[in-house]
Structure 1
């Protein structure tokens, strides 16, 4: 009996050490997807991590992350813009390091103080050094801080698991106009707007570590009351600043289907208008 109790204690300890907010799906944070419906597997990379992005003991948004390319595939969130100050700290995801009991994003410095090494931290994700002194590329948020209504929600978007190398001129130009002007216009009259923003992997890397996406895209499904009233999307080549058109959700899904080798892409629940 004593040996059995000891065995159970060891097993419990192992389970606790492996406890994490990175899962095999988004079952722990379905509220960022309309009706809990997530994009289908056409976007899923070979080495994925489903991250319920947690900050200050609360889920803020959800990210499907590509651990090999070290960029997010997409981030899903609810559009709720606000005027809180823009945060300055950058975070990484300790659950991508390996077995530990840290449940939410931390700064690199905090993790180093806890005994992790930079080699541990950077193995499956981007780190601050990957973005230092890049020419022509910015920290491109998929879930932008400007689409969040509180300082804590904004701070959570400053995790490198929510960032891709984005063309500087695009990020500061037409994409910025879409994020702050077009989204505000299109979401008028919406009670809730669900957003999924993603990046199509490209053929080049920054510093031989982080994939530079070929395209950046975003889709939204607007609820009037509790019913989807309209949906839209955009996609832009990640190599220049230019005026890209507003698309229907169906058009965006069709474009992504072609870019993902003909595998049918479905982003939102079927109730969202195509």
Structure 2
């Protein structure tokens, strides 16, 4: 009996060690958050999934996913920019279908074939590529953008459907792109390490016959370590039907999100990040 108990405990530990869809970020992939502190619970949806985004043999970022609305609530990563040549197809998250599946993101066709899963089963668990076909006035908008990473594997890892939302086309190629490419470059001058959390506020509209929510706002926040004793932070928010971005302090964004999330106080980073 004791031997059986030990084997069960051992098997449980091995299972927990290989999970990608996890119960919290703090014990699984905390390295993507400043001082290993994720945003507080104010942003959590009713049906959440915490995903340590795994590609190949490595974790590259973290995503809190809304299973019901089929969009990410936020993605968190460390900023390491370069240009982004895109070649590989979009991928999905197998463990949203079931924890017995592979922890690494996979191409849809590969997963359906090797996992013996139907497209309906996959679509019941998350957004699929078909949801983003024939969009009008909208793009597949990355939260964690390809161009904020500096090697091919980390770039490819951003092309998972659990990291995108329906984003206003003009915003995505206009003011938001300018923020990602130019403002971030300017703001991170002198930074040793920059932690980023980018998110989407759920809206009242949907695409794909009500399957995937179109966010009302897209936002981004950053906390930069200049050295051991100095940090700086900034944030932006954009309405997801206009080509404009509003630059805010970190505290300003947290206050705005608190309003949008019905008064639940929002904290995006550890308290050591300056709010003003």
TM-score range, shorter chain: over 0.9
Q: Which runs of 5+ in 1 are unaligned?
A: none
Distance 1:163 1:182 in 2: 21
Measured at CA, do residues 269 and 14 of structure 1 come closer, stay the same or move farther in structure 2, by a change above 3 Å?
closer
Shift of 1:16: 6.9
- Asked whether the equivalents of residues 171 and 242 of structure 2 are also in contact (C-alpha less than 8 Å), the reply is yes
Which residue of the partner structure matches residue 273 of structure 2? 272
Q: Which runs of 5+ in 2 are unaligned?
A: none
- Asked whether the equivalents of residues 21 and 99 of structure 2 are also in contact (C-alpha less than 8 Å), the reply is no
SS of residue matched to 2:75:
strand
Distance 1:249 1:178 in 2: 15
Shift of 1:38: 0.7
Shift of 1:144: 0.1
- Mean alpha-carbon deviation: is it higher for 141-150 or for 95-104? 95-104
Distance 1:78 1:90 in 2: 22
Distance 1:228 1:205 in 2: 42
Which residue of the partner structure matches residue 214 of structure 1? 216
Which residue of the partner structure matches residue 41 of structure 2? 41
- Mean alpha-carbon deviation: is it higher for 152-161 or for 222-231? 222-231
SS of residue matched to 1:87:
coil
- Deviation track 1:66-111 (CA, whole Å, cap 9, x = no partner) reads 0000000000000100235323311000000013241110010001
Which residue of the partner structure matches residue 234 of structure 1? 236
SS of residue matched to 2:141:
strand
Which residue of the partner structure matches residue 119 of structure 1? 120
- Mean alpha-carbon deviation: is it higher for 220-229 or for 5-14? 5-14
Which residue of the partner structure matches residue 169 of structure 1? 170
Shift of 1:245: 2.6
CA RMSD of aligned residues (A): 2.0
- Whether 1:89 and 2:63 are equivalent positions in the alignment is no
Shift of 1:162: 0.3
Which residue of the partner structure matches residue 148 of structure 2? 147
- Asked whether the equivalents of residues 84 and 146 of structure 2 are also in contact (C-alpha less than 8 Å), the reply is no
- Mean alpha-carbon deviation: is it higher for 68-77 or for 13-22? 13-22
Distance 2:239 2:184 in 1: 19
Distance 1:170 1:269 in 2: 30
Q: TM-score, normalised by structure 2?
A: 0.92
- Structure-to-structure mapping, 1:127-138, within 5 angstroms: 127-138=128-139
- Whether 1:24 and 2:33 are equivalent positions in the alignment is no
Distance 1:41 1:262 in 2: 13
Measured at CA, do residues 17 and 99 of structure 1 come closer, stay the same or move farther in structure 2, by a change above 3 Å?
farther
Distance 1:106 1:227 in 2: 41
SS of residue matched to 1:64:
strand
Which residue of the partner structure matches residue 72 of structure 1? 72
Shift of 1:20: 2.5
Residues matched between the structures, number = 271
SS of residue matched to 1:246:
strand
- Deviation track 1:20-65 (CA, whole Å, cap 9, x = no partner) reads 2111101211110011011000000000011000011100000000
Q: TM-score, normalised by structure 1?
A: 0.93
SS of residue matched to 1:95:
helix
SS of residue matched to 2:46:
coil
